[in-house]
Amino acid sequence: MSFHPYIAFSKSNLRQTRLLIIGHCCWSFAIFGLSQTGSVMVENSLYWSAGFMILQLYIAAQLLLPALLLEEEKRSRSFYLFWGGILLLCVWLINQLPTLTWQQPLAALKSGLLMLIATLIGAALARYVHRLWEIIPIGIAMTLADLASWMFGPTASFTKQLQQYYQDPVGAPPLIDMVLVKLAVPGSSNLLPVFGLSDWIMVVFFVIVASRFGINDNLIGASGKTLARQKKFGRYLPVSAVALFFAISLAQISGLFIPALPLIALTMFLWYATRRVWLQCRKSSNPLSP
């Protein structure tokens, strides 16, 4: 019995997946180097923290460009079960490795792995959006679930556990720590949890949806797909990544745990609506325009 149909990729998708893996490995090394730089900094001002965060998220945004060139392929349930199991196994295994000697590099590699997994999941989810309006019920459902979990569900308990652990890191970290992306913070010798796996999944989800429906979500130039085809990196700043940054900044300034997903969803709804209205007005004023 051949398992090839269940695990194979097209040549194009295999190429883009390799680029994603290599890019996220490089990103892991970059945040490790940044953490070493930040550990020798005495002053940890709000501006330095914002600068570190912007740099790391901006580099991460460039890693999304290969995902925009992933082609749709007919997938079976077995395909997702197989690769989903492989990715979960990778997360579990990397958290079982001893961290006494290689704690910092492993923490950076874990963050890179989580970002890669989130990118692949977000891209897979976006392919099931066939009409742009379908993101409205999806976004509302995810926002309500996130808020309910934050106010009444397990997120509130997880938040307290994480606060207690990072204030006094004794014993094993909470299980939720396995799915938190850790970034370099000035003044700290360790990478610290900044946002969750689900937050980056939604960043990628909205990036892919925007690309599929011809909506430019790049705040500093041409669309992400155009940049990806021209192999121009360093020029992509998606709206959803900026919304994530503002959610993180708001949480740091207020000192409260604020779920990022509702802010990301609201921002993207407004952006999609504004861009669609603008395009319709442009076509109305110039019927000959493409």
Dump pLDDT digits (tens) for 209-237: 999 888 899 999 899 999 999 988 889 99
Distance CA 252, CA 266 (A): 20
Q: Which residue has the higher pLDDT, 119 or 99?
A: 119
Q: Do residues 242 and 236 make contact, with C-beta atoms less than 8 angstroms apart?
A: no
Which band of pLDDT confidence, cut at 50, 70 and 90, is reported for residue 1? very low
Q: Is the pLDDT of residue 5 over 70?
A: no
The span from the CA of 153 to the CA of 274, in Å, is 34
Separation between Cα atoms, residue 181 and residue 57, nearest integer Å: 11
pLDDT higher than 80, residue 282: no
Between CA 238 and CA 244, with CA 242 as vertex, the angle to 5 degrees is 115
pLDDT of residue 55: 93
Looking at per-residue pLDDT, the higher value among 69 and 173 belongs to 69
Please report, for residues 57, 126, 199, 216, the alpha-carbon distance to residue 244 in angstroms, rounded to integers and kept in the order given: 9, 18, 8, 18
- Is pLDDT of 97 > 50? yes
Average pLDDT over residues 157-167: 68
Does 256 score more than 80 pLDDT?
no
What pLDDT does 116 receive? 93
Averaged pLDDT for residues 174-182:
80
Q: What pLDDT shows up at residue 271?
A: 84
Its pTM stands at: 0.86
Type of residue at 62: Q
Q: SS3 of 195, please?
A: strand
| First-to-final CA distance of the chain | 50
Average pLDDT, the chain: 82
